[in-house]
A = this chain, B = another copy of it.
Amino acid sequence: MAEAAMVFPVGEFHRRVAALQDQMTLAGLQALLLTTPADVFYVTGFLTRFWESPARPWFVVVPERGAPVAVIPSIGADLMGRTWIADIRCWDAPDPVDDGVGLLSQTLCALVPARGRIGLPMGPETHLRMPLADYARVAQAIGERRMVDATAAVQQVREIKSEAEIDKIRATCRIADAAFARVSDFARAGRPLAQVFRDFQIALLGQGADWVSYVAGGAGPGGYGDVISPADARPLRLGDVLMLDTGAVREGYFCDFDRNFSIGPADPAAQRAHAALHAATDAALAALRPGMRACDLHQVMADALRAQGAVPGGGRFGHGLGLSLTEWPSISPKDGTVLREGMVLTLEPGLEIAPGRIMVHEENIVLRRTGPELLSTRAPDRLPELAP
């Protein structure tokens, strides 16, 4: 086994699989079927950008006891062979007649008793990364074995990060910190937003990101319209508020936070908005403890915004973070998830400055027994003004 393909020592994976198997026992599951990049990486250490190609499905089966089994296209045999996984079963994909259906069905039949239950994530924030018709064929081929939802089991385990994982996320946050510190080098009046997005990605790579899976942002006079649009060719103008948000990746782990800037002197309304968001984040940092529910943490930030005379935004105010840009839970009024020690979260309050003008602010933290520890370097309380 070459170390090259191992982001963690093997003990980390033993711990993860044992934790999943504990949850499986509680849920009465005899196996877990995983199909997505984050779940497969979590259990095996198999890390590749090849997921970008939708041509091939990939499967990992976690049995009730013992090590996981990989059922994968043969193009991945070499890389999977460099992880800790010993039982690797391959087929030549893509195969229009049987794209792993037979091999996966055989594997499930061998590992799961005749009336056993096979869990797979079917719930919130999940999807099945294989053709739906092939899933139906597998469900048919496994006889009386039943496919049931295992979202809760996976969520319970993946939500709590080990110290090794926290170190990875902290390292990625440091990269984004350093890239944000360079925004003044390339963001100025007259420069198209699309170019600023490119320069920001270059800065992230220059600071050590392996790749940049997510950059979003916005710019507009005294605020921006939304936070998910790609950049357009519009040049930055004096008085614009510029926001850049990134999910950069290093060794498979994401950061996810943003920073706001004013192009030239900041508009007083934008300054007030930034101060209100900073105060709301301070309130969250002060109040957050293990045992608090996600909805209560949302309430803390919404109340702090209202106390500043601000109108809280309608979206969620943060979420889990780690192997994906966003993970469970949602810091939202609708999510009663109890926040636990070891969770890595974003704190992301937003507000409406005026109709169609918003501002959002985001930090990354890990929840310790005594409260949150920042993983991102806290933003300044005053909206930074860039030389125009």
- Give chain A's interface residues, CB within 8 Å of chain B: 4-5, 36, 38, 47-50, 52-55, 57, 74-76, 78-79, 82, 92, 94-97, 99, 120, 122-133, 135-136, 149, 151, 194, 197-198, 201-202, 205-206, 208-216, 225-232, 234, 247, 314-316, 319, 324-326, 330, 332, 334-335, 356
Contact = CB atoms under 8 A, between A and B. Distances in A.
B210 A198 contact: yes
Given A124-B131, A127-B129, A205-B201, A194 B216 contact: no
Given A94-B125, A126-B131, 13 more contacts: A38-B54, A48-B228, A52-B325, A53-B324, A54-B324, A57-B127, A78-B226, A92-B314, A96-B330, A96-B335, A122-B132, A127-B130, A201-B201
A327 B69 CA distance: 28
14 contacts: A49-B216, A53-B324, A54-B127, A55-B326, A75-B226, A92-B314, A94-B334, A99-B124, A122-B133, A122-B136, A123-B131, A123-B133, A198-B209, A201-B212
A215 B211 contact: yes
Contacts of A229: 4-5, 48, 78-79, 82
A202 B206 CA distance: 8
A211 B205 CA distance: 12
Nearest to A203: B202
Given A234-B4, A324-B53, A124 B210 contact: no
B325 A225 contact: no
A94 B128 contact: no
Contacts of A75: 226-228, 315
A38 B52 CA distance: 12
Contact of A76 (B197, B228, B314): B228
A124 B96 contact: yes
Given A54-B326, A226-B78, A214 B132 contact: no
A74 B314 contact: yes
Query: Across chains A and B, which 7 residue pairs bring their CB atoms closest together, nearest first?
Result: A122-B132, A50-B228, A4-B232, A53-B326, A78-B226, A122-B133, A52-B214
A257 B96 CA distance: 24
A337 to B, nearest CB: 9
Given A94-B330, A127-B131, A78 B225 contact: yes
A277 to B, nearest CB: 18
B49 A214 contact: yes
A1 B123 CA distance: 36
A37 to B, nearest CB: 10
A271 to B, nearest CB: 24
Contacts of A123: 131, 133
Nearest to A50: B228
A125 B55 contact: yes
A5 B129 CA distance: 28
A81 to B, nearest CB: 10
A122 B131 contact: yes
Contacts of A151: 131, 133
Given A127-B131, A229-B78, A55 B198 contact: no
B334 A96 contact: yes
A94 B356 CA distance: 21
A231 B251 CA distance: 10
A95 B234 CA distance: 34
Contacts of A54: 36, 38, 125-127, 324, 326
Given A50-B228, A128-B128, A194 B210 contact: yes
A215 B326 contact: no
A272 to B, nearest CB: 23
A232 B356 CA distance: 45
